[in-house]
Amino acid sequence: MLTDAPDIEALARFGSALADLIRCRILLALCEAPAYPSDLAEAIGVSCTRLSNHLSCLRDCGLVVTVPDGRRTRYELADARLGHALDALRRSVVAVEHDKTCPDADTKGCC
């Protein structure tokens, strides 16, 4: 059963998901249209195994859902508003000093 996450937890999950470039690519691809894992793997250029691990993380974070389609499973964003949020983030200007790094840049954790 799906439940709504409290605001802070939802933001933390979203941030953890966006901390990985492959997960970012998956989310941006799913903004365009729902997709099957094999198609996502090919579009993103990763192995199906690697993609599966990232899809699992995104599912656990509550950002994507699976939709049974016959014998296949399609993935899509859990909420259309996530697409709008990703689009807004993509269009945002981020002020970055080129000689600085984020203190958490070394963490590879998932949601």
Per-residue pLDDT of the chain (111 residues; tens, 9 = 90+): 566 667 788 888 888 889 999 999 999 999 999 999 999 999 999 999 999 999 999 999 899 999 999 999 999 999 999 999 999 988 886 776 766 666 655 555 454
Angstrom distance (rounded) from CA 101 to CA 85? 24
Closest-CA residue to 62 (of 87, 46, 82, 48):
82
Domains delineated in the chain: 7-89 (1.10.10.10)
What was the pLDDT predicted at 4?
Answer: 63
Relative to beta strand 72-77, strand 64-69 is antiparallel
What does the DSSP 8-state code read for residue 77?
E
On the CB side of 87, CA atoms within 13 Å amount to 8
